[in-house]
């Protein structure tokens, strides 16, 4: 008869050496952060934890190895700045109001 391992698998053991790089508003945003980091060769995991103060809310943390924390911050901040720029640019709705004469050559 084979002996069963009594080793308890703890989620925290998997995350040893990982630190939080960002908290996401929802699971979709967390997955976007994780994908963005992985595309840039930074390993990332998503950790959901119930907040003790409120039973209805979850904290969704995106975590990376501690050695990659600074790089991960730069990657996420760069993407957010890029997104903010295009949100701002398209916010006015003036994209279709360009004056055609502006693009004509005066040669």
* pTM for this entry: 0.62
**Can you name the CATH fold of 15-92?**
Alpha-Beta Plaits (3.30.70)
Q: pLDDT over 90 for what percent of the chain?
A: 46
Q: Which residue has the higher pLDDT, 73 or 105?
A: 73
CA distance linking residue 42 with residue 36, whole number of Å? 9
DSSP 10-27: -HHHHTTTEEEEEEESSH
Q: What is the pLDDT of residues 4-47, one digit of tens each?
A: 544 444 455 567 899 999 999 999 999 999 999 999 999 999 99
First to last CA, the chain: 91
Give the start-to-end residue ranges of the domains of the chain.
15-92
Reported as a pLDDT band with limits 50, 70 and 90, residue 56 is low
Closest CA to 67 of 35, 43, 38: 43
């Amino acid at each position: 008869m084979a002996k069963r391992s009594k080793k308890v698998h703890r989620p925290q053991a998997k995350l040893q050496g990982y630190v939080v790089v960002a908290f996401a508003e929802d699971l979709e945003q967390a997955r976007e952060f994780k994908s963005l980091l992985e595309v840039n060769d930074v390993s990332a995991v998503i950790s959901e934890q119930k907040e003790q103060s409120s039973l209805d809310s979850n904290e969704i943390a995106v975590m990376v190895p501690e050695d990659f924390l600074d790089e991960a911050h730069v990657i996420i901040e760069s993407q957010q700045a890029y997104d903010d720029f295009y949100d701002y640019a398209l916010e006015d709705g003036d994209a279709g109001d360009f004056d055609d004469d502006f693009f004509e050559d005066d040669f």
